[in-house]
Amino acid sequence: MSTPNDDSPKPTPRWRAFLAKSREFAPVWTLLALILFFSVYSDSFLSLENAANILNQVALLAIMGTGITFVLLTAQIDLSVSYMATFAGVVAAYYTAGHLPQPWPIVAALLAAGALGWINGVGTARLGIPSFMVTLAMSLIASGLSLYLTRGRILFELPALSETLGSGRIFGVKWLVIVAALTLLVGHLVLKYTRFGRYVYMTGASPKAAELAGVNTKGVITAVMVIGALTAGLAGVVGIGRLGSATPTAFDGMLIDAIGAVVLGGTSLFGGVGGIPQTIVGLLILGVLRNGLDQVSVDIYMKTLITGIILLAALVFNILFAGRKEA
Amino acid sequence: MGKPDISRRKFMIQSALASMGIVAGPAFLQTVRAADGKNRPLKAAFSNAGLQATWCAQGKDTVEQWGEWLGVEIHWYDGQLDVAKQRAAVDAMAAKDWDFVAIQSLSIGSLVEPVQKMIDKGIPVIAMDTMLAPWGKIKQHTFIAPDNVWMAEQVTQALVDAIGGKGKVVMTQGSLGHTGAQGRAQGFYNVIKRYPDIEVIDESPADWDVAKVAQLWENLLNRYKKIDAAFFHNDDMALAAYHVIKNAGRENEIVLGGIDGMPPAVQAVLDGKLHATARNSAARIHWGALVAGYYAAMQKEMPGKDIPEFILADGPAILPPSKEKTDKPWLLKGYGIGAGPGLLWQEKHFLA
C-alpha cells in the first residue's frame, strides 16, 4: 500500500543539481584548468597584455567559427571555409591592386565568398550531395581561384579598411577583436531570438520533424552555408589586414582550428546542440592552449605532440564530464 | 575500269620513297625546328613543390620564358605543397615520354619509383633544390641546388654584426622535416656558436606559414620584453613578422633577416625594414635545370661524364647600401651599392 508521500516526486538532491549544472559547463572547467596550468608554469602568461593577445589571436577564428556554428547546428559541415577566407582576401587585394575604388574590392570579396557558399548550399540542400563532398570540392575551387588570381605571388596592396580592421586600434582595443565580438553577438542574437535561429536548431535536431512542422529545411541549409561563407569572407578581408599581405594560402591552415574550436566548445557535429556561447569557450580553450605553449619552454620537437595530447585530453574530459551526452 | 598507268617497278620505287619520307620527314623537320628554336621541338616536364609558394611561381615563370627562348615546350605538374599530390603528379608525368624532366621534390625519396621509371626509359631527370633520393640511390642527370648553410651563415652573420655580437636572438624555422630548413638552421648555429654573448631565446617552427608566424610573434613579443635580432628561414615569414612587430611598435628594436631574396624582401632591405636576405635563386635553379636538360637532349651530355652530379646555384647576400662615402668604391662590399638593385633587375628579367 502506498502512501501519498510515495506518489509525490522526490526533490532532486542539491549535489545532483550542481553536478548536472557542472556537466553543462565541462568545457569551461577545461578552459579554467588550462589557464591555471599555464599561469603556474609561465611568468608571462597571466597578464592583461597577454589576455589581449589571446583575444587578438582567436579573433579571426571567432569570425569564421560563428558561421561554422550555424553550419554544424544543422548537422552539416563546411570544409571550404578557410579556403574561402583566403580567396576573399585575395579578391579584395586583387581588385585593390587593380585600382577598383574602395570599398568595392571588399564588397566584391564578400559577394564572391557568398556566391561560393550559395553553391555549397544548393549542392547540399537541393541536389542532395553530402556537404562533406560539396565543400571539399569547393575548397579546391576556392584554392584554385586564389592561385589563379595571384599567380603564386604575394599581394601587398590592401584595402585601407582591411588594414584598419586587421591592425588598427580604437581606445587601445584592436578593431579585429571588436569585429569578432560583433560577429559573435549577431550570430548569438540570430540563433537565440529569431525564428530563423529556431529553424536552424530544428533542422539540425530532426530534419523530418522540422519539415513536418513546416520548416523549409532546404532553405535553412542553403542559408547557413551562405552565412558560413560570408563569415569566412569577412575573416579573409580582415585577416589580410592583420598579416599585411594576401597570399594564395594565407588562411588555409585555419580549417581544423576553426571547426575544432566550435566542437571543443560543445557544439555537436550531429546538429541541434550548441551555440555561440559554446563556440566562445571552445575558441578560448584553443587560444589559451596555443598561446600558453608559446609562453612555456617546450622542446620544439614536442610542441605538436603536446598540443595534440592536451586537445585529446580536453575532449575526453568534456565528454566524460558531460556524462557522454554528445559522444 | 581501266588499268592504272603505272608499272610495278615505278610503284615499288615510289612507295619506298614515300615510306622513307614518312619516317625521315619528321626527324628532318625536328632538326630544322631545333635549329630555329621557334617551333618547340623539345618537350620537357617540370614539377616543383607548389605554385602557391612565390618562390615556385617565380621558377615556373622563368622556365616558361627560357623555354620560349630555347624552343622547349614546357608541361607543368604542380606539387601543390603536398607530398601525396606531387607523387600523383609525377606518376602521371612518368606515364609519358619527354626529352627531359626537372623536379623539385617536396620530400627526399617520395618520388623514387616514377623517377626511376623515367630514368629507365632514358629520360634525363634533373633534381632541383632538394635531392630526389639519398646520394647514389638513383642515377639522376644532375642536381642543381643552393647552399642553404652558406645563405643562413651570411644572413646570421649580418644580423650578429648589426647587434654587436651580443643579445637575445630568435630563429623562426620553416618545417622541421624540410632539408632546406635543416640546412638553414645549421648555418644559423654555425655562426651563433662563435658568439657566447648571444642567447637564442626561441627557435619554434612556423612551417613557412605566415598566419602561424603572426601568432607566434605576437606571443614572443609578449613573452620577451627585449629581442635584439631574428632570423627567419624565408622572407615571407620575415615580412609577416615585421608587420606584427611594427604593429607592436618595436620595429626599431629588432633586426630582421630572411632568406630567398624575393623582390618584396629585397625592396624591404633597401627600405630598411629587413636588415638582410640571401638570394636563393629560383630563376638560376629553374633555368639551370632547363639548360642542363636542353644539353642532355640536344648534345647528349651524359651524367657523371659531361655534367657533374651537383651544380651550385649561388646567389648573393643582400645588405643595405654602405653608408660610407669614398672615392674608391671598389674597396667597399658590393661597390657600396650592394646587390639589391641589380638583383631586382635580374629577377625581373628571369636571370637570377
Number of neighbours of residue B188 by Cβ within 10 angstroms? 25
In a domain, A237, yes or no: yes
Q: Please tell me which of the candidates B54, B176, B210 has its beta carbon nearest to residue A152.
A: B54
Residue A323, pLDDT score: 56
Residue B177, pLDDT score: 76
- Three-state DSSP at A35 gives helix
Taking CA atoms, what residue in B is nearest to A241?
B243
In a domain, A271, yes or no: yes
Is the ipTM of this structure higher than 0.90?
Answer: no
Backbone φ and ψ of B282, nearest 5°? -60, -40
Q: The CATH number of the domain where A103 resides is what? A: 1.10.3470
State the SS3 of B247-278.
HCCCCCCCEEECCECCHHHHHHHHHCCCCEEE
Residue B148, pLDDT score: 95
Taking CA atoms, what residue in A is nearest to B217?
A294
Residue B2, pLDDT score: 41
> Terminus-to-terminus CA distance in chain B, angstroms?
72
A159 closest CA partner among A118, A110, A114 = A110
Do residues B309 and B303 lie in contact, with contact meaning Cβ atoms separated by under 8 Å?
Answer: yes
CATH number of the domain at B148-280, please?
A: 3.40.50.2300
* C-alpha separations of B315 from A101, A139, B147, B261 in Å: 40, 37, 9, 9
Least confident of A141-145, A233-237, A252-256, B24-28: B24-28
- Domain over B39-146+282-312 is classified CATH 3.40.50.2300: yes
**Per-domain residue ranges of chain B:** 39-146+282-312, 148-280
Least confident of A163-177, A304-318, B335-349: A304-318
Residues of B with Cβ-Cβ distance to A249 under 8 angstroms: 52, 81, 209
In a domain, A294, yes or no: yes
Could you tell me the residue range of the domain that residue A51 belongs to?
A: 47-321
Q: Please tell me which of the candidates A53, A239, A251 has its beta carbon nearest to residue B219.
A: A53
Taking CA atoms, what residue in A is nearest to B177?
A301
A120 touches chain B (CB under 8 A): no
In this prediction, residues A157-163 reach a mean pLDDT of: 95
In a domain, A188, yes or no: yes
Tens of pLDDT along A11-70?
667 777 776 666 677 889 889 999 999 999 888 899 998 999 899 999 999 999 999 999
Query: pLDDT at residue A78 above 80?
Result: yes
Residue B10, pLDDT score: 56
In a domain, A32, yes or no: no
Q: Please tell me which of the candidates A152, A239, A253 has its beta carbon nearest to residue B209.
A: A253
pLDDT in tens, chain B (352 residues): 344 455 555 555 555 555 544 444 444 434 444 444 445 589 999 999 988 888 999 999 999 999 999 999 999 999 988 888 899 899 999 999 999 999 999 888 889 999 999 999 999 999 999 889 888 889 999 999 999 999 999 999 999 999 999 999 999 999 887 888 999 999 999 999 999 999 999 999 998 888 899 999 999 999 999 999 999 999 999 999 999 999 999 999 999 999 999 999 999 999 999 999 999 999 999 999 999 999 999 999 999 899 999 999 988 999 988 877 778 888 888 888 888 999 999 999 999 9
Looking at the complex, report in whole angstroms how far the Cα of residue B213 sits from the nearest Cα belonging to chain A: 9
- Three-state DSSP at B310 gives strand
Tens of pLDDT along A175-206?
999 999 999 999 999 999 999 999 999 999 99
In a domain, A274, yes or no: yes
Looking at the complex, report in whole angstroms how far the Cα of residue B204 sits from the nearest Cα belonging to chain A: 6
Q: Which of residues 261-300 of A touch B (CB under 8 A)?
A: 290-291, 294-295, 300
Residue A72, pLDDT score: 97
A228 closest CA partner among A128, A165, A139 = A139
- Is A300 close to B176, i.e. CB distance below 8 A? yes
Number of domains into which chain A is organized = 1
- Is A295 close to B219, i.e. CB distance below 8 A? yes
One fold for both B39-146+282-312 and B148-280? Answer: yes
- Three-state DSSP at B142 gives strand
Tens of pLDDT along A250-277?
999 899 999 999 998 889 889 999 999 9
In a mutational test of the A interface, the residue from B247, B267, B286, B348 whose CB has the highest number of chain A CBs within 10 Å is B247
Residue B31, pLDDT score: 47
- Is B205 close to A156, i.e. CB distance below 8 A? no
Looking at the complex, report in whole angstroms how far the Cα of residue B285 sits from the nearest Cα belonging to chain A: 18
Residue B64, pLDDT score: 95
